[in-house]
Amino acid sequence: MNMPATDDRPLRLVIHGGAGAVRRDRLKPERERVFMQVLAQSLHAGHAVLAAGGSSIDAVIAAIVIMEDSPVFNAGKGAVFSHEGYNELDASIMDGATRMAGAVAAVTTIRNPIRAAHAVMMHSRHVLLIGRGAESFAAEQALEIVEPSYFYTQRRWDQLQKAIAKERITLDHDLDSDSGEENNEKHGTVGAVALDYRGNLAAGTSTGGLTNKRFGRVGDTPIIGAGTYADNQSVAVSATGTGEMFIRSAAGFYTAAQIKLQNKSLFEAADHTLAEIATIGGEGGLIVLNAQGDYTMCFNTSGMFRGVIGNDGVARVGVFSGDESLAVY
């Protein structure tokens, strides 16, 4: 459902914390509260930037940093482990006013990859930097560099051991039907889209990728036009889901193109993109925002951790289908 803005100069921030097979009977109330509190904190951090007249880019960064610093989502501190036992992080950001963009992939020592993506956008001639090169660049930009052990969490390590034992790759947005208590909740890729008082859009996404991923695998999150896209003439988009299929569908750009060229509504475009992704075996969700403040939070899974805040400064967050499920924080 699209949500119309009600102010002559609307501001809006929409976020997600991943979409997947989230079961009501497996998500314990106390754990759900933790997720909701982090989402609300993220929304309030981004809103503070917007309410003070800050840019949509800065609001996206502020919102995502909160989620990167929390161990409950698969980004930054809460990132999953690769097969080799590393936390390999990806992030991207895009400015809808200029279509400038920046991204990093497979980094292991940058505390906040979204800040590094922004630095690539602002202080380099490039769009995407990877691995050690990206880490060296981030250090030159005086971003916070940490030991790889900073990203270690016992829960993620245990998830890796289970995935190795089962000889499979585990999507960050799925739950094992036979998983123990530690997996009875959703942890996912995070993203944000924002609209500032100047009418400028921005989008950003950050992730730890897949549990047990191998061979330097990189998904859609740092790929501009797949996991992240922003253009003031259409929309800002952040995606979460089965990354390979989002890349193959150019999900972010495809959603924006339908709105710009076919005059589809935000929901129609996002829903159609997810339907196309489903035809090639993918699933997930999209948050989409336009320059009028209209937005949609669309997913083809049982749940998506998500939230929205506007001019009134009230954070609304939820997990399951239906806008009536959004709680006020």
Which tens digit of pLDDT belongs to each residue from 33-53?
999 999 999 999 999 999 999
Burial class of residue 172, CB neighbours in 10 A (0-12, 13-18, 19+): buried
pLDDT class for 144, splitting at 50, 70, 90? very high
Query: Chain-wide mean pLDDT for the chain?
Result: 91
Share of the chain above pLDDT 70, in %: 91
Q: Residue 244 to residues 75, 225, 254: CA-CA distances in angstroms?
A: 18, 13, 15
Q: What is the pLDDT of residues 80-97, one digit of tens each?
A: 999 999 999 999 999 999
Q: What is the pLDDT of residues 236-278, one digit of tens each?
A: 999 999 999 999 999 999 999 999 999 999 999 999 999 999 9
Distance CA 316, CA 329 (A): 6
In three-state secondary structure terms, 171 is coil
Distance CA 112, CA 233 (A): 29
According to the model, what pLDDT value does residue 324 have? 60
pLDDT class for 167, splitting at 50, 70, 90? confident
Nearest partner of 186 among 155, 217, 165, 221, judged by Cα: 155
CB 170 within 8 A of CB 163: yes
Rg (CA), the chain: 18
Give, in degrees to the nearest 5, the angle at Cα 101 between 96 and 103: 140
Q: Catalytic positions, please? A: 189
pTM for the full model?
0.93
Give, in degrees to the nearest 5, the angle at Cα 38 between 34 and 42: 170
Nearest partner of 113 among 228, 196, 247, 36, judged by Cα: 228
